[in-house]
Amino acid sequence: MGKCKKRTLNKPILENSLTRSHAVSIVVNQIKKNELNNEGKNLLTLFGITPEELTEAGASYEEVLILKRFMILNSI
């Protein structure tokens, strides 16, 4: 067995997985920096993140409303 396979098999399974709370923090950080990219939008739809979760994680109410309007306008 090669070195790469040995390294991958020895890593824990959950080390590379993305949790819901981590996804929320990524999206909130992008909103705060005003740099919401496709990754952030994909995380919103993948996990079904609600506006309440974003405000609890630190995003302001106004930022969430703007994000909601932006997502609705781009989905049409």
For helices 61-75 and 20-32, angle between their N-to-C axes, nearest 10 degrees: 100
* H helix or E strand, kind and range, residue 52: helix 51-57
DSSP 58: T
pLDDT by residue (tens digit) across 15-64?
567 889 999 999 999 999 988 888 888 888 889 888 899 999 999 999 88
pLDDT by residue (tens digit) across 2-21?
666 666 665 555 556 788 99
- Is 0.85 topped by the overall pTM? no
User: Distance between CA 27 and CA 41 in Å, rounded?
Assistant: 8
